[in-house]
Structure 1
Amino acid sequence: MTTPSLVSTGTDLLADAAADQAVPVTRVDWRPPMDGTAADLATVATDPLRRAANERALAAMLDVTATLVDVAPASEVLGLTPGEFLHAGPPITWERASGPLRGALMGGAALEGLVTDPEDAAALFASGSSVSLEPCHHRGAVGPMAGVVTPGMWMFVLEDPATGRRAHCSLNEGLGKVLRYGAYGPEVIRRLRWMGDVLGPLLRGAVRARRDAGEPVDVTGVLTQMLQMGDEAHNRNRAGTLMLLRDLGPDLVATAAAAGVPSADVAEALRFVGGNDHFFLNLAMPACKLALDAARDVDGSTMVVAMARNGTDFGIQVSGTGDEWFTGPAQLADGLFLGDYGPADANPDIGDSAITETAGIGGFAMATAPAIVRFVGGTVPDALATTRRMREITLGESRRWTVPILEFAGVPSGIDVTRVCRTGILPQINTGMAGRVAGVGQVGAGLVTPPAEIFPKALTRLAERTVLRRGAAA
């Protein structure tokens, strides 16, 4: 006689009843596709280009290595001119900008000398006559939180030695009342001026010395190591920051001494970097962008190559759909708050730092950094489960970036629009929370997902392109 067994999906009522009668039960975590996606899923699933295109896009991303080759003002490396401002996320106007983005733009205008009082910058941006806004992603850059970049801000410059392709990111200010969280008080502007006058030139000397000696900082290599040391490279970068300090410190001291820089300035720079556990984030982000940009524009690929938020909208870009943004409303994070702040004080999700999750680290690699739950909320089992769950919506795994506690499995890599729509599982992002009101700064940190509707939007465009190709081939 055959022993009865049961495969159960959906609610547990039937499975529990069978289990109570000693019947072996296999529980399957199955969900129907997202509403309205069945036809588009069928169209894209039968696209003859899709499988090879995704293999190509994923391989292109995983093959990239990022080295730190320069530190220089945005006016030099991005060609920004007075009045041009970059920001995080998809395109947006001043009228729709969130509080923290407005605050960062106002502070940036004061930093550039366009206004004396940051409060006066609101009228400047409202008029739009002498200023312009553009996403960082459109200039080969990424920016954390508000992501505001002005011509005078100093940028990390990362390069893939195999192709010469580059990506850029500003220097990290630290936490709390900082420009990227929308603060623009006098202490914020003073810190930024010091970073431009002292920190940037000191870092440039050290970075160029290593580059010219044929030993540029291997950012991809540091990322590989820090994932083995309790970091996940989005909201925990402690090991990465200290390794960067180890690699650059001797050259920073030597080049500063040769240039006659006061020892007090050198000490302050080293103290600032060493005391800012988030400093390496601004290297992890462009390293991820560099990798994902290599996967762009592969016809037929359903792989996501950017996730970004401007505090109002959350947008994604997909390899097979060019530079088009698919957007929906940015969501509020669920997490832990600083001091007396609470959910009512928080702005919806903001920043380009979700590029880390897009590349498979950050929230996707939370299993490498169980201590992260003390900062963003949740539990250690939640962190492990998150990394496992993200494997259901990705095309493969990294060869370099691995998770020790999961038997050194590679981090889930290559978010697939079709898998998100088919399973209903959304990418998990861990994030800082900016205050809703301009000028407040950071109010907490937490966990967030993209708005679900952006993935069916991308799927529809992929299906349309599939149909057009079929028509052209007929």
Structure 2
Amino acid sequence: MSLREEISKANEAAVERMMEASAIWIDVVEARKVLNVFGQPTLLHAGPPVSWEKASGPLRGALIGATLLEGWADSPEGAERKLQTGEVRLVPTHEVGVVAPMAGAVSPSMPLLVISDPKYGNRAYSNLNEGIGKVLRYGAYDESVLKRLKWMGSEFAESLKAAVDQAVKEKGGLDVKFILTQALNMGDEGHNRHAAGTSLFLNELARYLVMSDLAKDVLLRVLDFVKGNTFTFLNFAMGAAKVMTLAAHNVKYSTVVTVMSRNGTEAGIWISGLGNNWFTAPAKVPQGVLFPGFKPEDANPDIGDSAITETAGFGGFAMAAAPSIVSWVGGNVQFAVENTERMYQITHTKHRYFKIPYLSFQGTPTGIDLRKVVKTGIEPTINTGIAHRQAGVGQIGAGVVSMDMGMFKRALRRYAEEYGIS
């Protein structure tokens, strides 16, 4: 079999696994109880590895806040000293099977959603979504942020745990992939618009919360929080995307991209046939809609693990399914449609289950092929939130950004070396 045939066969297998993987929410658990990286003070962060010295403002803010949340320091200055000296270690989320939006800061006491794929035997994890604006994932860490996180780590997480336990007893868990397929047919794209997904999720969740016999005041607080945050489902969707892409990872000869992520300084990718090796390039600054009072120069380069949604075949790749997304990230409806159509040129196939009504129910562009990206010169485009470049400020808007071609060229050169292509 020729190398071209080997690659074609490998990519077909990888993308088939990605599409057929299941994604079932089965648990909520403290990070330290499922990850073995917290033997010393350690924080997870989005994107490729980065040192404190090179960390962007929003990432620094989130790490400071997480250090304060854990009680490792009693002031922002004290937290910064511990991070600067390396007393608090930094580990990329993807390297331990976790995905988290924006800064991606995960500390040992934080609750994680557990998303299972019984078909291929993988599990992925994501943290809980705080909402928009002044939140930890955008680099804010004042008392209001920490107070919310403490409640989310106690009453909110305990309530979700009680609910999902009921779902597991009744039907093995809550099917996140099924909700995603419905949401794409209802005007979501699965990254920056979750109005439908969160509503569908809340429909399922409410029943199991009631079954859990929670106190009425607790039940109302939990329901109000979910109802008031349409991004609740984002983290479930990201966990689902991660478990799907895990199914496609480590397929020999495959040129399919299985990770795209950013840390606010650099962006990076993984390739299925090249294992857990990062190929990086500078992160670009998103262009989009800013909240009142902010200017383009306030925006930080792109940050977060949420590009795992595009990697799995939805998010920005499915913008044609969500015309109203342009009111959030900028552009117009035609741009949303054209972006999806352009992504078909760099992907392996059309998704079997994720459909776009406006495009006559075609499947979404799925399975980014490293070779096609380099050959066409088309960079994968994602939609994203925009963080202020200074620590402590938070979210200032939302927009669109592409992944720099440099990382794909580096990955292709490494692929050629790995598989003996001259």
Pairwise TM-score range, normalised by the shorter structure: over 0.9
State the partner residue of 1:58. Answer: 15
Deviations 1:435-462 (A, max 9, x none): 1000000011100001111111011011
3-state SS of paired residue (1:85): strand
State the partner residue of 1:246. Answer: 203
Match of 1:207 among 164, 171, 175: 164
State the partner residue of 2:102. Answer: 145
Is 1:467 aligned to 2:420, yes or no?
yes
Residue 145 of structure 2 aligns with an amino acid whose one-letter code is: V
State the partner residue of 2:287. Answer: 334
TM-score normalized by structure 1? 0.87
Deviations 1:190-211 (A, max 9, x none): 0000001110000000001110
Is 1:117 aligned to 2:75, yes or no?
yes
Deviations 1:326-372 (A, max 9, x none): 00000000101001111111100000000001111110000000000
Match of 1:411 among 364, 369, 393: 364
Deviations 1:7-28 (A, max 9, x none): xxxxxxxxxxxxxxxxxxxxxx
Check the 8 A contact 2:99/2:125 in 1, yes or no: yes
Check the 8 A contact 1:205/1:256 in 2, yes or no: no
Match of 1:101 among 39, 59, 71: 59
State the partner residue of 1:126. Answer: 84
State the partner residue of 2:41. Answer: 83
Residue 409 of structure 1 aligns with an amino acid whose one-letter code is: Q
**Cα distance in 2 for residues equivalent to 1:424 and 1:163:** 33
TM-fit CA distance, 1:77:
2.0
Q: How does 1:164-313 map to 2 (within 5 A)?
A: 164-257=121-214, 262-313=215-266
3-state SS of paired residue (1:243): helix
**Cα distance in 1 for residues equivalent to 2:153 and 2:89:** 22
**Cα distance in 1 for residues equivalent to 2:371 and 2:190:** 26
1:439–1:71 distance in 2 versus 1, CA, 3 Å: same
TM-fit CA distance, 1:161:
2.0
Residue 219 of structure 2 aligns with an amino acid whose one-letter code is: V
Residue 324 of structure 2 aligns with an amino acid whose one-letter code is: A
Is 1:421 aligned to 2:374, yes or no?
yes
**Cα distance in 2 for residues equivalent to 1:150 and 1:215:** 28
3-state SS of paired residue (2:171): coil
Judge which range, 455-464 or 169-178, deviates more. 455-464
Question: What runs of 5+ residues in structure 2 fail to find an aligned partner?
Answer: none
Match of 1:357 among 310, 326, 331: 310
For these two proteins, the number of residue pairs brought into alignment is 420
Question: What runs of 5+ residues in structure 1 fail to find an aligned partner?
Answer: 1-44
1:256–1:95 distance in 2 versus 1, CA, 3 Å: farther
State the partner residue of 1:18. Answer: none
Residue 10 of structure 2 aligns with an amino acid whose one-letter code is: A
TM-fit CA distance, 1:48:
4.1
Deviations 1:389-445 (A, max 9, x none): 100000001110000010100000000011011110111100000110000000111
3-state SS of paired residue (2:53): helix
**Cα distance in 2 for residues equivalent to 1:414 and 1:154:** 30
Match of 2:278 among 325, 336, 341: 325
TM-fit CA distance, 1:466:
2.1
**Cα distance in 1 for residues equivalent to 2:247 and 2:29:** 23
Deviations 1:136-168 (A, max 9, x none): 101111010000000111111000122331000
Residue 76 of structure 2 aligns with an amino acid whose one-letter code is: P
Check the 8 A contact 1:202/1:256 in 2, yes or no: no
TM-fit CA distance, 1:72:
1.2
Residue 249 of structure 2 aligns with an amino acid whose one-letter code is: R
Judge which range, 57-66 or 178-187, deviates more. 57-66
Is 1:389 aligned to 2:337, yes or no?
no
Match of 1:448 among 395, 401, 409: 401
3-state SS of paired residue (1:91): coil
Check the 8 A contact 2:166/2:211 in 1, yes or no: no
TM-score normalized by structure 2? 0.97
State the partner residue of 2:114. Answer: 157
Check the 8 A contact 2:26/2:172 in 1, yes or no: no
Q: Percent identity?
A: 48
